[in-house]
Chains A and B, each alone.
Chain A
Amino acid sequence: MAEIIKVENLTKIFNHKTVAVSDVSFEIEKNTIFGLIGPNGSGKTTTQRMLTTILRPTSGIVKYKNHDLENGNINDIRRMIGYVPQGESLYGDLTVNENLDIFSRPFGLSNEKRQKRFDELLDKLKLKDRKNDLVKNLSGGLAKRVSIACSLVHEPEILFFDEITNGLDSSTRLHIWQLLKELKKTSTIIFTTHYLDEAENLCDKIAIMFEGKILELDEPHTIIKKYKSKNLNEVMTQIIAKEQ
């Protein structure tokens, strides 16, 4: 399979002293789900923030198909990606439709095409009846769906999800899992999570990070086998015990 993201020796140092990510390298293949997992402070969110262009790497190379993060046009890269942050990250005092509008306008889609995409997404995410509701009046699960819709309007090739199921009830989580599996058909998904069952069930490949480094990079079942464990939870327990 063709790789869509190639990361080489990626490093992020804050204030010249705090090493958040150290010399990380990996490749992500097209139409796969890639999971960045690890305990708090392991560097997974910083890695994702660099890949989403929010943070500038201290050193290293990130390539998105033909685009290079360091030398390429950042807007071309941003047109390729969609990002769903951890919180709702929406304007509560705007309606669902207005949130879709503000986050999709800079992608340069025609009004007609944008409206068509809104209708498709509202339908797909079962938000059609709520499109004129203020986001602050929606439940957590509905707001999360709006957040996902906002990242999909411009049909990105790569989707980033940061702790997407955090704080959601089990039925909403299952609904989002279904959605991710469906999105995988058209996009490549990179997500961070601390729910290890989620990573095990959804990811084609995972990177286990600890103190800014990738300790394991493979398919979940291969890593589980390597550690002679039953699941990723046990793997993580072993890794933390060994590293500490």
Chain B
Amino acid sequence: MNLLTIAFYELKRILRNHRLILIVLSQPIVISIIVGLIVYHDPQDIKLAVINKHHNEASDKLEEKIKENNKFIVEERDEVEAEEVKNGKIRGFVIIDVADIKPTSGKVEVLNDPAGRHIQYVVTSEISKAVAEISKEIALQNVSKPNIEIASSLIEPVEYSSKELTPFKLQNFDYFASAIMVLLIILVLINLSGISITSERASGTFERLFVTPYSKIDVILGKAISLLAIGIIIALIGTGSLYFIFSISIGNFWLVMLINLLVGATAVTLGLLVSSVTYSVVESAELAMYLFFISVITTGIMSPIETANKYFAYVMKAVPFYYAVDASRRVNMVDAGWSNIAINIYILIGSFIFFLVLSIILLRREAR
């Protein structure tokens, strides 16, 4: 019962601080909207410069094809101007070097802006698709009508296609939305819990509590319960904003909430651990932010685990939030069920218990 008293008053203190509540509750809405608007759709209006060296039928067709693609804004140039890439005005040059001889032959070269990595993939894939289509069209023009069917199969004997294995109609933002959902909870709770013990230490209430029969377990669990209640509200607001504003794909709602609940529990106990090992509010806030950024990077939101150094990939897999983002993405993007993410759930439960026990042990050491 003692822990419920702590939980009740902790929650009351948080709810009574209207400015804090405004900051905390506006975070999931504002951050979701900002990220949602930044990662709103696939890259569009990419500025490309086309250098059509020979202006013949084939090269003009290809230039026209590139111009028709609504992902690009195409300008014509006579030669490569590296300065334009350095100035950030052009994302790449497409050099069409197709000579006007029969049979048609030549090459297309794309010079990409290395500063736009995500855009590079789109440019390369779209231009190669256009080149393949035009090549096939030109090749078929050189074949007499009765042989078109045979020629077609000779020109493209193996057809390539790819699609996403999901029952959902996904947008570019869905990949980020699942991670944002998790990270928002970590951001708010690790900060709130990170300073909860140090602020009590500074005000002296902590010392007074421990001259009463309240135990350290009562205090830690009581704080965890109240902060988790805040975490559930954040999760609902965050998921709600992403769903209603950006129509993100949501898998099994209860699984999503279970993941969010466990993320909240783990973030709160990690924050309490931060608070247990630091001695001032500034130290706690700094360490909490430090751990938050490590969590962001290691969850794979910036780059997938496949790009990591093979030894560091093990480190990423040792961070519990990696499993939270992974589970969230699989539930929301591939419609994964309980059996598909059970291991992730167990890892999150294990991490929560580990951080909880460690914070209690470290707090006990204070009396030594």
Q: Is the CB of B203 within 8 A of A89?
A: yes
Contact present for B368 and A103 (CB under 8 Å): no
Contact status of A54 and B211, CB under 8 A, knowing A88-B204, A90-B205, A106-B2: yes
Contact B207 A85 (CB under 8 A): yes
B204 and A105 within 8 A (CB): no
- Of the candidates A81, A86, A93, the one whose C-beta lies within 8 Å of that of B211 is A81
Q: How far is the CA of A98 from the CA of B16 in the complex (A)?
A: 13
The A142-179 residues at the B interface (CB cut-off 8 A) are 150-151, 160
Give the distance to chain A from B315, nearest Cβ to Cβ, in Å. 32
For A58, give the chain B residue with the smallest CB separation.
B368
Which residues of A sit under 8 angstroms from B205, Cβ to Cβ? 89-91
Asked if residues A94 and B13 are in contact (CB atoms below 8 Å), the reply is yes
B residues 127-161 near A (Cβ < 8 Å) are: none
List the B side residues contacting A105 at CB < 8 Å.
1-2, 5
- Contact between B213 and A107 (Cβ–Cβ < 8 Å)? yes
Closest to B364 in A: A56
B211 and A102 within 8 A (CB): no
When distances are taken between beta carbons in the complex, the residues of chain B under 8 Å from A25 are none
B204 to A86, Cβ gap below 8 A?
A: yes
Q: A89-B203, A91-B205, A94-B9 are in contact. Are A54 and B16 (CB under 8 A)?
A: no
Contacts of B86 in A (CB 8 A): none
Task: Report the nearest A residue to B204, measured CB to CB.
Answer: A89
Chain A residue numbers with a CB within 8 Å of B367 are 53-56
Encode contact with B along A92-135: 1 for CB under 8 Å, 0 otherwise.
11100010011101111000000000000000000000000000
* Chain B residue nearest to A160 in the complex (CB): B211
Across the two chains, which residue of chain B brings its CB closest to A74? B213
How far apart are B360's CB and chain A's nearest CB, in angstroms?
16
Question: Given the interface contacts A102-B5, A107-B213, does A85 sit within 8 Å of B208 by beta carbon?
Answer: yes
- B-side contacts of A194, CB under 8 Å: none
Quick one: closest A residue to B2, CB to CB?
A106
Distance to closest chain A CB from B41 (angstroms): 45
Shortest B146–chain A CB gap in Å is 88
A55, A79, A93, A102 — which one has the most chain B CB atoms within 10 A of its CB? A102
Whether B203 and A92, one on each chain, are in contact in the complex, defined by CB atoms closer than 8 angstroms, is yes
User: Does A78 count as interface, using CB distance less than 8 angstroms?
Assistant: yes
Contacting residues of chain A (173-190) with chain B, CB-CB under 8 angstroms: none
| A-contact bits for B181-194, CB 8 A (1 contact / 0 none) | 00000000000000
B17 in the interface (beta carbon within 8 A): yes
Interface residue? B65 (CB, 8 A): no
With A87-B203, A91-B9, A94-B12 in contact, is A78–B213 under 8 Å at CB?
Answer: yes
Asked whether, in the complex, the Cβ of A98 is within 8 Å of the Cβ of B9, the reply is yes
Check B13 against A91 for contact (C-beta < 8 Å): yes
Contact flags (1/0) for B205-227 with A, using CB distance below 8 Å?
10111111110001000000000
Interface string of A74-86 (1 = CB under 8 A from B): 0100110111011
Check if A103 sits within 8 Å of B17, measured CB to CB. Answer: no
Determine the residue in chain B with the shortest Cβ distance to A93.
Answer: B13
Which chain A residue lies CB-closest to B16?
Answer: A93
Minimum CB distance partner of A55 in chain B:
B367
Within 8 A of A (CB), among B303-329: none
Is A52 positioned at the interface, with any CB of B under 8 Å from its CB?
yes
Q: B12 — which chain A residues lie within 8 A by C-beta?
A: 94, 98
Cα A101 to Cα B17 in complex, Å, equals 20
Instruction: Tell me if A103 and B212 are in contact (CB < 8 A).
Output: yes
Nearest CB on A from B91, distance (A): 53
B212 contact set on A, CB distance < 8 A: 78, 103, 106-107
A87 — which chain B residues lie within 8 A by C-beta?
Answer: 203-204
A83-B211 contact in complex given A55-B367, A94-B9, A106-B5, C-beta closer than 8 Å: yes
Q: Which of B5, B13, B205, B214 has the most CB of A within 10 A?
A: B205
Tell me the minimal C-beta distance from A105 to chain B in angstroms: 5
- The answer to whether B203 touches A53, judged by C-beta atoms less than 8 angstroms apart, is no
How far in angstroms is the closest Cβ of chain A from B142? 83
Contact indicator B213/A103 (Cβ below 8 Å)? no
Are B203 and A103 neighbours in the complex by a CB distance under 8 Å?
no
Residues A54 and B210 in contact, CB atoms below 8 Å apart: yes
Known pairs A89-B203, A94-B12, A94-B13; A106 contacts B211 (CB<8 A):
no
Note all chain A residues with C-beta closer than 8 A to B210. 53-54
Distance in angstroms between the alpha carbons of A174 and B213 in the assembled complex: 32
Q: How far is the CA of A52 from the CA of B210 in the complex (A)?
A: 9
Asked, given contacts A54-B367, A98-B9, A106-B213, whether A89 binds B17 with beta carbons under 8 Å apart, the answer is no
For the complex with contacts A83-B211, A91-B203, 20 further pairs of A-B residues with Cβ separation under 8 Å are A53-B211, A54-B211, A75-B213, A81-B211, A86-B204, A87-B203, A88-B203, A89-B203, A89-B208, A90-B203, A90-B205, A92-B203, A94-B9, A94-B16, A105-B1, A105-B5, A106-B214, A107-B212, A107-B213, A151-B208
Nearest 6 interchain pairs by C-beta: A89-B204, A83-B211, A106-B213, A75-B213, A87-B204, A105-B5
5 inter-chain pairs at a CB distance below 8 angstroms, sorted by A residue, are: A55-B368, A93-B17, A94-B9, A106-B212, A107-B213
